[in-house]
Structure 1
């Protein structure tokens, strides 16, 4: 259930590293930037060290031992039987003297635990321990030695295990109580909504089979409760350690918190009064939030010399962790209260609590991004997890961004002026290689089949130089330098896995003929190779949304397993609730937009005259929307209207939605695919109709044409995968704003002659009854 704890036949199993992180970490939180080796560099560094040892040297020594019901296991880096020496190898950059003391103590703790396990396994009376620090830059070793009797190591081992065992027994008791409560859990409402039972059954069956699921489920059936409830039941039945609920937006996280509160209240109401001394549903829930939202002192650096909440963080963590677990549901506000009461950083307390909570709610990136925390913890602790992905039609575009990288030439030019002297030559090499690319560029946008070798070599060299400089000067913090460094790191990481799933391109961004500015991009097109391991790491991953059709588009682009299940949940709505009309006499193609404005305004005006109320009108761009709104205002000045603005903040978006009241009437003009095309709830009279004057097709431009060509080469359906399917998902999402409950009634106009085509009609919801519209 927790980070380090997994049930085993003989008791509880804990990894050596996890045991020591729990018991031996002390002192300050220290996140001063010192470039650490990458995973690949760390592996290579271990290989260099072990290759220097003799033929008798034993690498990756598997060790395990027991302390009462606790089983401790791990792999020691190396053992030299001739020297009687056990080694723990740590790679680093920069000056070893700057390594925080608490890191060194943690390393010694791990080595001592391994030492005891080896003495027990081989019957050794004495052992030499060697902590080997390997500098990635200089390839030099620094070796620290300690000699220990087996009895001394046993005492240390027993002390650490005793510290952990008290916590472990508490956690296992909580796990047993949780599973008992979840086994007895009843659905929180008197009955399922139409379609909700079908969704819940599909979720549970996917967990039973241990497969992934694509679930297309219409809005209004209660998808959040309908997905969380069956996975909570499955947690007990299928021995799940965690449920991760991942949302695209803050509103999605709140819906999950609300759904879990409903489930908990229902469990409490159903529990006998005699059991009220303890929670009826002992479920630990955590909301993950971004560091920018959780940080109390953004103006301070993350180390004990600067921030009071980092000072002594690990000393105060045990009490803060215990208090947080007593809180039950740790939304952002609750966790902040606990953290500040114990004077620890809320963000890093939140990261710690992800190890100990049953349901973790957060953004997609916490599991699917390249450095995703929840995925890393799942692998480290061998958790059995279920992953729920809300509004999953967003996954393709979001995942593409996760595995893309950009570099701006203007930023490099500015950095070269202020960079330390030691970094000017490496940055100049990048500049010269970049200049060559710009001189060779024939058009404003140019894709490349391969990565430019000279530029990539220069960029890698510059990144290494910056890493070495920062390791030697950790107190210096130049935001521009670090920004470029992190962008270069991401660029180099993606270059290592560059293939048909991505493309490299250069876009001109202004400047002058003699000094152009450009943007370099490794642009992911198909996230499948990156996401496939994430699906494999979970017991089950369920993606659900009102628009997941056609299913093969998502399976192909996201890399879902071959045995992924698919369910198209029946709609709870009747065709009589929604009048869907196609205005086939109007073309919204770019070349026809000017002459489409008058008939669109007439159509909106005629519908409003027949049935006054609140409507949304969606267009493909802000320019098109503004032109249509002006045309409508001229012909129908008596009808209230309001418009979406570019770059609206949260308050402005709230004000826009507030215009849709139960007593108001008018037309809101918006852009399809923007803030108001999905994820908003305007039931009843708050919204009685929508006009969708576009197929939602992505803009025809060189980038999208490259995506089309790549999709065609990989899947043989370039236009559909690049344009049609993403566009129609936006259309159906926008139309889904109209009917929200089983008592709603409304009208949707699909404005474009192409909506009448069979290949387009097949992508519309099956329960719609589509009719031609009367001319306005």
Structure 2
């Protein structure tokens, strides 16, 4: 069986040398690149061919790819590169790599069509000016074949190693047994759903209760599916670092159960956490880890693949020994890893590295998305962006003369925005404002291209990135997003506005991500109702749904509804004393550790103040605004085995999900809210859009997101089959059928107590 390698991968592996240099950036987005290629092709003749699939073999290698364009009349093969900025500033090793790709494609074309020679052209298309810069050379087929074979020979040893690794990996995975003596209740069903999803090429939405071991079940099953269904990679994506650690622990458990398993596990971390020199720019003249990066990368890569687990601390050590950047070392290793663990954004955001690599290398991938109820809000953030008038004014004050005039034009554009907003006609980014931003972006681009290395102004650079980000969102603006305009006094007292493109429905952006995967399984304890997530995330119509049986019995959890207290906004002041009394009464019956959840910090502080005043003998500690990692850990450290007291927390915050307080570290929770999002202009607009799109505006905007937070918070109480506890739901609305349907089926709910206050809301 030959080793299949993409032209780009072959060339980057064998022809990339010298410094890591990110000064010739930012590169266009994938969407901008496609548009640039299309525009170049449209300028060619009617016989011009695009996206020419080519393939060639050399010994054990099968090299494949798609050449950008071929003009048969001129016998010219074009390698098209979209870019921003002055080509004179392009690092030499970038151009060297591009020529290598063109030459490999040149040989594959000569071989396929029997050509004796071909003209090769590097076409650099500036997406800002829409101008082309062309470099052309004519090469004989013999010379191109020699170049191709030289590249292949250099890659052969690595390919043989990779083929051997894949064969050994798949053989070990085929015989891999579950690392525990038996499956827990529901765990086997979840594992089976993941495997079947890969087998049938379908996505899976799996609601699975906390405590069954979702991570090990999904990782094990996806890896077991790799050999029979020819998966190249498995991606485990999380919202938080705790989720990453669970996945790494699961992989370690598999290794302990099968010590001979040659599984390459890679952890991806954010650039700001991995960077060793945050005060330096990413190029060889500034950062020692960028200088000669590609010369030292092969040795660092080889050592990394020999370690048991390529987690962040391990890679940091390897990178230090070889003098390379740990962040970009991890990026390279993602090509050779079997299981990649990282944040959602690595696959789902607009410039997602793993998604781009999947398409470029034609990988067959299986994707696992942990705590998937978080993906809707996270994806909205990925596809939203804002511009601040005050920030642009501040950078304009110190900007070079060539940049000030375009920034002044942008500043004048705010007046048009303000006027349209006042008239209620600001429905989309005005063309005049977008054009002014483009001109400012071009001016900033030219400035940075001419600036001496290391002299860039951080504020000006941030303004540049903000403008480019906003422009990208403006180009794809549609009914899935909204334009928001706010205004307040700036630092000098002058009115300063902020304009924001706020994504409301991430589905259009996420659909291509799901399409790129062989299968994606999204799992969480709170994914009801499934149609909400299918609609909002743009999952395929044939996505399978599974509601995994809970391993817990109703006898483990005493769920009570207290309908005599209203937690509606208008009633919060009067509710403080009754809620404090309710908590104290329960504590008196069963002293122990409790969590009390509220809809906001203001509400939390109101009730906690009342509680401390009325019941000073009961220990109480509060979640505070903006807690750092140490403060959050100190809050959790109060929940000791055999301890007693009440922790006051905000629903949907740091302590509402993702914490594991087993046994009597937590014996109960009070939830004094339905968790409904605030009624504000953004949410009301969201409700209108979702009503128009799905006919479920209120439920999709308020009810479903709110109840997810409630169930997540309640899920902190029962973590194992030995745990017992109580959950008290405070509000009469918990008794409504539409609400009860969204609560876990295994809960046996007592109440509600009759209400004396019959207000509605």
Q: TM-score surpassing 0.5? A: yes
1:705 maps to which residue? 684
* Residues 1:164 and 2:144 are matched in the alignment: no
1:585 to 550, 564, 568: 564
The alpha-carbon distance between structure 1 residues 725 and 92, as it changes in their structure 2 partners (threshold 3 A), is: closer
Write out per-residue CA displacement over residues 404-446 of structure 1, whole angstroms, 9 at most, x where no aligned residue.
1111121111122112211112111111111232245449xx7
Q: Which residue of 1 aligns with 2:258?
A: 267
Q: What's the counterpart of residue 372 of structure 2?
A: 392
Call closer, same or farther: CA 1:399–1:40 in 2, change over 3 Å.
Answer: closer
How far does residue 589 in structure 1 lie from its aligned partner after superposition? 0.5
**Residue aligning to 2:758:** none
Mapped partners of 1:197, 1:39: distance in 2: 39
Per-residue deviation, 1:687: 0.3
* CA-to-aligned-CA distance 1:188-226 (integer Å, 9 cap, x gap): 111111111111111111111111111111111011111
Distance 2:54 2:469 in 1: 36
The answer to whether the 8 Å contact 2:68/2:79 transfers is: yes
CA–CA distance in structure 2, aligned partners of residues 124 and 562 of structure 1: 46
Which residue among 94, 110, 127 is the counterpart of 1:119? 110
Q: Distance in 2 between matches of 1:56 and 1:605?
A: 82
Per-residue deviation, 1:161: 0.4
SS at match of 2:387: strand
Match of 2:229 among 230, 238, 260: 238
Match of 2:291 in 1: 311
Partner of 1:335 in structure 2?
A: 315
The 3 A distance-change label for structure 1 pair 614 and 149 is: same
Using the alignment, how far apart are the partners of 2:72 and 2:430 within structure 1?
A: 48
Check the 8 A contact 1:535/1:561 in 2, yes or no: yes
Cα deviation for residue 112 of structure 1 reads 2.1
Match of 2:86 among 95, 102, 113: 95
Given candidates 569, 575, 593, the residue that maps to 2:548 is: 569
Aligned-pair CA distance for 1:248: 0.6
**Matches of residues 20-31 of structure 1 in structure 2 within 5 Å?**
20-31=11-22
C-alpha displacement of 1:581: 0.6
- Aligned ranges for residues 325-404 of structure 1 at < 5 Å? 325-404=305-384
**Counterpart in the other structure of 1:738:** 717
CA contact (8 A) 1:64 1:74 kept: yes
User: Using the alignment, how far apart are the partners of 1:504 and 1:267 within structure 2?
Assistant: 54
Q: 1:59 to 1:691 in 2, by over 3 A?
A: closer
Residues 617-669 of structure 1: per-residue CA shift (max 9 Å, x gap): 11111111111011111211111110001000000000000000013100111
Query: Which of residues 269, 273, 276 is equivalent to 1:293?
Result: 273
Aligned 8 A contact 2:210 2:719 in 1:
yes
SS in 2 for 1:691: strand
Q: How far has the Cα of 1:127 moved from its partner?
A: 4.3
* Counterpart residue number, 1:760: 739
The match for 1:608 among 573, 587, 592 is 587
Deviation at 1:34, TM superposition (A): 3.7
Which deviates more from structure 2 when the two are superposed, residues 325-334 or residues 35-44? 35-44
What are the residue-to-residue correspondences of 1:40-79 with 2, within 5 Å?
42-43=33-34, 45-46=36-37, 59-79=50-70
* Match runs of 1:404-415 below 5 Å: 404-415=384-395
Decide whether aligned partners of structure 1 residues 701 and 309 sit closer, same or farther in structure 2, where only a CA change above 3 A counts.
same
| Partner residue of 1:417 out of 397, 401, 404 | 397
Distance 1:630 1:35, change over 3 A: closer
1:550 lines up with 2:550 in the alignment: no
What is the aligned partner in structure 1 of residue 750 from structure 2?
771
Q: Unpaired runs of 5+ in structure 1? A: 1-9, 269-279
Q: Give me the whole-angstrom Cα distance separating, in 1, the residues matched to 2:740 and 2:278.
A: 51
Alignment-derived partner of residue 706 in structure 2: 727
Alpha carbons 1:438, 1:516 under 8 Å: kept: no
Deviations 1:48-90 (A, max 9, x none): 6556656665554443322112122333344455655444343
Residue 518 (str. 1) matches residue 509 (str. 2): no
TM-score by length of structure 1 reads 0.93
Q: 1:462 aligns with which of 428, 440, 460?
A: 440
Farther-moved stretch of structure 1 (298-307 vs 455-464): 455-464
Tell me whether 1:194 sits opposite 2:185 in the alignment: yes
Q: CA RMSD in A?
A: 2.2
Deviates more, 1:125-134 or 1:223-232: 125-134
- The number of residues matched between the two structures is 754
In structure 2, the residue matched to 1:254 is 245
Contact 1:93–1:468 (CA under 8 A) maintained in structure 2: no
- In 1, distance between residues paired with 2:425 and 2:104? 53
Would the alpha carbon gap of residues 535 and 54 (structure 1) be closer, same or farther in structure 2, given more than 3 Å must change?
A: closer
Give the stretch that moved more between structures: 496-505 or 139-148.
139-148
| Partner residue, 1:273 | none
Helix, strand or coil at the partner of 2:305: helix
Q: Distance in 1 between matches of 2:331 and 2:574?
A: 56
Deviation at 1:512, TM superposition (A): 9.5
For structure 2, list consecutive stretches of 5 or more residues without a partner in the other structure.
Answer: 756-761
User: TM-score, normalised on structure 2?
Assistant: 0.95
1:304 match: secondary structure: coil
Which stretch of the first structure deviates more once superposed, 491-500 or 462-471?
Answer: 462-471
2:10 aligned residue (12, 19, 39): 19
Change (3 A) 1:351 1:86: same
**Superposition deviation, residue 44 in structure 1:** 5.2
**Map of 1:143-222 to 2, 5 A cutoff?**
143-222=134-213
Instruction: Quickly say closer, same or farther: Cα 1:404–1:567, change in 2 above 3 A.
Output: same
- Structure 1 residues 509-543: Cα deviation after superposition (integer angstroms, max 9, x where no partner): 34499832222111111111111111111111111
Distance 1:514 1:388, change over 3 A: same
